[in-house]
A and B are shown apart, each in its own frame.
Chain A
Amino acid sequence: MAEPYVIEFDNVGLRYGQGTEVLKDVSFALPAGSFHFLTGESGAGKTSLLSLLYLARSPTRGSVKLFGKAVQSIARDDLPEVRRKIGVVFQDFRLLDHLSAIDNAALPLRVAGYPEAEIQKRVTELLMWVGLGAHLNARPPTLSGGQKQSVAIARAVINRPQLLLADEPTGNMDDKSAARLMRLFVELNKRGTTVVIATHNEGLIRTFPYPRIHLVNGRLSIYPVGYSPDQAYLKTEADYV
């Protein structure tokens, strides 16, 4: 039976070192198969929230549950298995410059120990689909910003993750490419992947009718479809799509 919630935050706080909290009393839960936008001003805590979701950090206080398990209680040796269920598109791509596009996109499959023939087949197909068929062996420094982003996205989705997190995934793309990419995310979501996309792109949010999680100074609000942060605050189970 599928977990009712993929992500559960309960009164979560996060601070770096002795600084002030960048996330304060954050509580929310996202059901499996949901699609949310994560919005907020720069510095509101979007990237910090995402870093808790892809297990790069532990919360300073409160409880984070992923796939029904409290993150703090997951043994270190079991973390890779949890991380393999999560695909991440970083704002700065984080591609490895010394590897080709195909090797970059293949990383999640390689670390999971897939056979090389299957890796080549799956990665080639995906890179061709995202329009990089002519650049399979190109290294990131020779690719444009949009092409790099496509490689980063391919890497995030190649392992068919249960949870997809994207930090400004359309930031370097024209509208046509952004729409094409969003259709990929929607398609993955239809197949059961829970999607959280951090973005500033209001046009995108208007075009694709999904609820938004909004952060203001580290505090979180959830808005249903069609509502924006300047409208009434709502947070009920029925608001989840």
Chain B
Amino acid sequence: MVGLDEARHSLKADIAVRTEKLNLWYGTFQALFDVDFSVKRGIVTSLIGPSGCGKSTLLRCVNRINERFGYVRTEGKVDVLGHDIYAPQVDLTQVRSRVGMVFQRPNPLPVSVRKNILFAYQLHHGKQSSKAEADTIVEKALRDVLLWDDVKDRLDRLATGLSLEQQQKLCIARLLPVKPEVLLMDEPCSALDPKATETVEELIWNLRGDYTILIVTHNMAQARRASDECAFMLMGEMMEHRRTEDLFLTPTHQKTADYIEGRYG
């Protein structure tokens, strides 16, 4: 039985996230229509489309953060690593330890840099056994996001006092100690200036391989230069999903072509 399960798992191992016939309503407004979408493991996939097309909603289905609103209804299937995360026995805390999320506006918690990093770790593992262990976790996470040299002398200062760029990197760093599989990013650079955007994009590109990254962006240049695959959504439907360069060079849908050429948005 276990063998069979593992075999099935390895077959699907190249897919990190798969949605099937995913429909979602905010009250009576339908935001997603039968979305079938697969995200390959270990690469960066970007989601583009005009405002209100459902790309953020789709992203938010993957860690079930939509549900905090009582009026959201979801139908269909979302598999993460081959397991349906909407199944009744699924524990939300476990989902969120495997699927991390980075928000549009950097939202470090109003505690020290160190506590920001340790917060999620302690939620999922209890208190770490020693200060040395905590220090190792903090340093590793901050090094992974290229922030260690900037903040190593102010680990005990409030994280909300960092620059926006550093805050956003910290928001990525705090996800890493719990070893997530998927990182969801909802326009992670839209609050940053061009220089900061560049360094955060580089960081995202560096994390590729170790993590599966799904990124929503309004910035088509960003999708083009910093993603392996790209999906275009319109009015709650998945229009097309291909390798990024193919999508931008030879879009199959007229709507996609119009959007990426900036004829609407």
Q: Do A and B come from one complex?
A: no
What residues of chain A have their CB less than 8 Å away from a CB belonging to chain B? Answer: none
